Chains A and B, each alone.
Chain A
Amino acid sequence: MSYAITAILEHWPGNIPSLIFLPGLFFPLVVLILLNGFYRDTQAVEESSNPRAMAVAEEETVAAVNPNLDPVFDKQLKRILHDEIPEMLEMLPSNNWHKHACFEKGGRWRFTFECNSESRRFFGWALGSSPMEAFLITRHRILAQIREWHRTRFDGALAAPAHNHAPRVLIVDDDVDVALAMQTAFGQLGCETEVATSHEGLHRRLLSSPADYIFLDWRLNGEVTADQVVEKAIRYIDTFSDLREKFTGHRPRVVTHSVLDREQVVLPSAGAPYFDHLDHWQKPMPFHEVVKRASQLFAASTAATTEV
């Protein structure tokens, strides 16, 4: 038994007309798909300027097509529609139209996603043993395209970035889980990342890294604090002229993160010519918040540099 589901578009002006017309559009669509053996490479397409409203309509469509859908798959589909796709859309260029489809045939699920904007087309599809698996693989492919898109934007004249490359980020955190989550977040934003999880030799890492941004955990391995590491690095910079030249010419922006609040986290003032203590993030921070704040931070830094 196959099940056909969904498709979404944006930019149909006006939410109310969408809500009125959608059920009418979906019913014949569902009948058509059923009559055709539930399988078509080209999926049904509807438009809406309100993805959330559309998601509700989709949910109803799923129930109408298959009231006996496995609850696990049902749950995954709802999650994809309600949370994951809207989140993915936020990463894509504005002024786009998009569609997606997910259906099952012969025990395999297929997910397709396409997004077109004035500047770029994003497209991916995948097969999986569940809707979520198919979605995840597709998403992985779309994210790779988004990263590529970001790279192009950073290199382009329009963005006028502070540096002629994707932002390079050094993540320092003794908690490997936190470090990897941050790496994933920054990777999504098109950054080149490197991770350090040990305080040993960390000052040397700070000195040798080409990072534009350093995300610095305050307490490392319960033994050392970030200000001690920075202090040590400063001593080296003060001593060696090539390091002084490097750091005065390219001052890394430091974002400290800790359970402590901003007032309790102070980097040595002697480091001001070499490190720009840009921000402080208080832990714990949900993943989406990390993505959001990092995105704002990079955008603000780029804008500030452009103005200068």
Chain B
Amino acid sequence: MEGFNSNDPFAAVPVDLYHLIPAFLDRREKELTELENLFNQRDFAAIKALGHKLKGTGTGYGFKAISEAGRDLETAAIAEDMLELRKRIDDLKQTVRGILEGAKRVLGDSL
């Protein structure tokens, strides 16, 4: 389903999944913390696995940006490129933050 505003990261989320969004975002935030730890440990295999998982998760919920960020993360982990990984992790943080803002606007107190 296309959202009516392509700039809104929350626009393409199916309403049927709204009740799952708070837990979904909670898990993404935990993953970001985990990602930072893995980055500091230079655990490329685990980062790759996490990126791969995100790639499959985002689209189902209408968060194409998360899937793309997961894909980029996986690619950077395979290349073991620390600079690129740093950038991709920061990008993912931005994406999750943007979605969280969008979610707050739409879901309000229920988030």
Contacts and interface: CB of A to CB of B under 8 A. Distances in A.
A180 B57 CA distance: 11
Interface of B: 1-5, 8, 11, 14-20, 23-24, 27, 49, 52-53, 55-62, 67, 105-106, 108-110
Task: Select the residue from A76, A139, A222, A259 with max chain B CB neighbours within 10 A.
Answer: A222
B27 A176 contact: yes
Given A130-B108, A285-B60, A181 B17 contact: yes
Contacts of B23: 180
Contacts of A114: none
Contact of B62 (A78, A87, A178, A286): A286
Contacts of A180: 20, 23
A177 B8 CA distance: 21
Given A139-B15, A184-B20, A76 B106 contact: yes
Given A87-B1, A284-B67, A288-B1, A129 B109 contact: yes
Given A129-B109, A175-B56, A259-B52, 13 more contacts: A79-B4, A79-B11, A143-B16, A176-B27, A177-B20, A178-B56, A178-B60, A180-B20, A284-B55, A285-B60, A286-B1, A287-B14, A287-B16
Overall SS of chain A's interface = helix
Contacts of A285: 59-60
B60 A177 contact: yes
Contacts, number: 84
A231 interface: no
Contacts of A284: 55-60, 67
Given A75-B5, A83-B4, A286 B106 contact: no
A133 interface: yes
A133 to B, nearest CB: 7
A130 to B, nearest CB: 6
A178 B52 CA distance: 13
A188 interface: yes
Contacts of A185: 16
Nearest to B20: A180
21 contacts: A75-B8, A84-B15, A130-B108, A132-B15, A175-B53, A175-B57, A177-B20, A178-B56, A178-B57, A180-B23, A188-B16, A222-B49, A284-B58, A284-B60, A284-B67, A286-B59, A286-B62, A287-B14, A287-B60, A288-B1, A288-B14
